[in-house]
Amino acid sequence: MTDNGNPLLQDWQTPYQLPPFQQIQCEHFAPAFAVLFEQHLAEIDALAENQATPTFANTVAAFDAAGATIDRVRLTFENLCASESPAALQAVEREMAPLLAAHDSKVAMHAGFFARLDAVHQQAAVLDLSEEQQRLLQRMHTDFVRTGAKLQGFDRERFAAIASRLADLQTQFAQNILADESSYQLPLTSEVDLAGLPDFLRQSARSAAKERGLEGYVITLSRSLVQPFLTWSTRRDLRETAWCAWTSRGENPARDNRPIAREILMLRQEQAHLLGYENFADYALADRMAGSASAVHALLSQVWEPAKASVEQERQALAAQAAALGEPADIEPWDWYYLAEKVRVARYELDDAQVKPYFSLDAMLAAMFDCAERLFKLQFVEQTSVSLYHPDVRLWEVRRGAEQVGIFLGDNYARPNKQGGAWMHVYRKQRRHGGKVTPIVVNNNNFARTDDGPTLLSFDDVRTLFHEFGHGLHGLLSDVNYGRLSGTNVPQDYVELPSQLMENWATVPEVLAKHARHVSTGEPIPAELIERIRASQTFNQGFQTVAYTSSALIDMALHLRNDLDGIDIARFEVAERERLGVPREVGMRHRLPHFGHIFSGGYYAAGYYVYMWAEVLEADAFDAFEEAGNAFDPALADKLHRYVYSAGDSREQGSAFRAFRGRDPRAEPMLRKRGLLRTE
């Protein structure tokens, strides 16, 4: 192919074959994709036109190996659009989203290739295939069918058109949230405005102002700033202002996500009907562990009423605290974090302003790397001479002895051009077929930067760090032959198992005793403080569970609907909250106009429940280590590596869990962990 000087189309003579970040310009992507679309379709044409009898090798494995060049450029594009996306790149993203979706549809609906794939699939029972090969054949065939390969005529054209339009709308939805988050500023111009804020939060607010070219202090809508502000500010009026701005993201009249979400929902419903499903939820769940909405509701119902009962007990404790402080007894949503922190400090003698100095970012990175070494024999060796896409980003070689397992990138700070939240992605996925390929994994967080001294984390931040590292390990430890089965390419209600499971090691006393050291004195965290932190883990769980579960239930109710013509998602949300009995003071973790999980893409649509589904698995899995009396039990760690972190989608997930645990998962450990286990 002719590269015309475009670095995206050249061989990448860079360390670890990373993208040549310093050479890539926004204007390189569209012409590169134009070339790569044509090249990739030519590869699929060649597979389809093969005159030999269709076999696993010349059809299934060959398709898995195709498209390597477009994959590396697409992954680079996706990562930059999420992590470092100025206005020019956002414009390219809007341009490319429908074109990328159209290309995917051309591949998925390639009649010639699907005929060969279907022929192999029909012979699956008599082919001499390994478990992993059988899995690849089944997963690939399912992928094609679910993306319209069997549709004919108008239905086929309409399905492709819907996919293209959805990509456009979902990109608009995500960019509107980013614009709301990056443009909002709550200036704190006097000492009165700063009342109650601990030093670390003042430093972060000052850094946010400086980053935006402003004097003084600024609170943005980054969760790492707005949630601590709601927790410590004694200015109830400013807390209300921040809360209202935070929860109204996506409703700005200039970039209103509500009509966008309505069109997304209607198009998803039409897609589901074209494929023979009654609604989108049925379509989405057919390819997940849960299998049906009834299974999801059976799980969520186990926590819903106990969580609401816990919220009422928590509300009473907060009301008593408010009275003691001379605050209004009529608690509003912007009061909950503030009063809950007061109760937590009193109940557990835990003040985050005193705890955070033990949790510097560098120390917690060392802690999670230490856990990876003890569990999986990995070493993380930082390399500082490699050019990356932003100065914030750090790179580690991941080794096991003399072997290089992969590359790990850490991008941990909030920025105006970076999407909110925390996530893991890859620049390159692991595979062996066609030659050994090691993974390049990136973890993104949005911690608040401080200009003076090390970055200090709340314990919730520490859990987030370990959570994303669990996803990272899922990508790094992947040990499969085929890219389609690699790493995190698993059903959505299983993908959160490795991440949520890794959170448990953040609370292991010996890990904290070794790594949680006071940033000024170097003294290890006191054992009794560790115990108070662990004891406090069930505190406020009614609030947390209701905030999460209400979002999951409303997501499911929305995607189970058959009549979506003219739906107003804001009114639907209000009606569902009332029907479910969501306590007014709690609020949802994600209101629908900014619910990026379900509207910025289709991955978690009708699937926000997956975090709790996976929590059942991870709580039961970590119980095995508790039962062994050793969080680093070698035999269990080996099984965890083999059946969870390295297996990817090479075996059915229920079977993989049973191979690790010796039985099916039980919900009791999850309920106990949340403090919701009924004792009758």
Q: Which residues contact 246 (CB under 8 A, 6 or more apart)?
A: 221, 226
**Backbone phi and psi for residue 445, each to the nearest 5 degrees, phi listed first:** -130, 175
Q: How far does Cα 491 stand from its chain's mean position? A: 13
Rounded Cα distance between 343 and 352, Å, is 12
Under 8 Å between Cβ of 396 and 441 = no
Q: Which residues of 304-330 are buried (b: 16+ CB within 10 A; e: fewer)?
A: bebbbebbeebbebbbebbeeeebeee
Q: Is 276 helix (H, G, I), strand (E, B) or coil?
A: coil
531 and 514 Cβ atoms separated by less than 8 Å: no
621: its two tokens: 């899995």
List active site positions: 468
Closest CA to 217 of 206, 226, 227, 207: 206
CB 645 within 8 A of CB 376: yes
Contact assessment for residue 302 and residue 667, using Cβ atoms and an 8 Å cutoff: yes
How far is the CA of 138 from the CAs of 125, 132, 351, 365, in angstroms? Answer: 11, 10, 52, 39
* Nearest of 424, 97, 491 to residue 264 by alpha carbon: 97
Sign of the alpha-carbon torsion through 489, 260, 607, 592: positive
Q: Name the token pair of 93.
A: 């993203």
**Residues 315, 329: Cα–Cα separation, whole Å:** 10
User: From CA 645, how far away is CA 499, in angstroms rounded?
Assistant: 10
Q: At which residue do the structure tokens 């010349």 appear?
A: 58
CA distance 548 to 27: 40
Strand partners, 395: 383, 409
Structure-token pair, residue 283: 């379509």
Describe the strand order of the beta sheet including 440-447 as a list of residue ranges: 379-383, 394-400, 403-413, 440-447, 423-428
Cβ within 8 Å of residue 670, ≥6 positions away: 612, 615, 616, 619, 620
Residue 645 DSSP class: I
What is the C-alpha to C-alpha distance for residues 263 and 256, in angstroms, rounded to an integer? 12
466, 433 Cβ separation under 8 angstroms = no
| Whether the Cβ atoms of residue 447 and residue 455 lie closer than 8 Å to each other | yes
Cα separation values, 528 from 15, 350, 517, 535, 536, Å: 46, 11, 14, 10, 12
Query: What's the distance, CA 184 to chain centroid?
Result: 24
Other residues' Cβ atoms within 10 Å of the Cβ of residue 416: 15
521 close to 343: Cβ distance less than 8 angstroms:
no
The three-point CA angle 627-371-504 to 5° equals 50
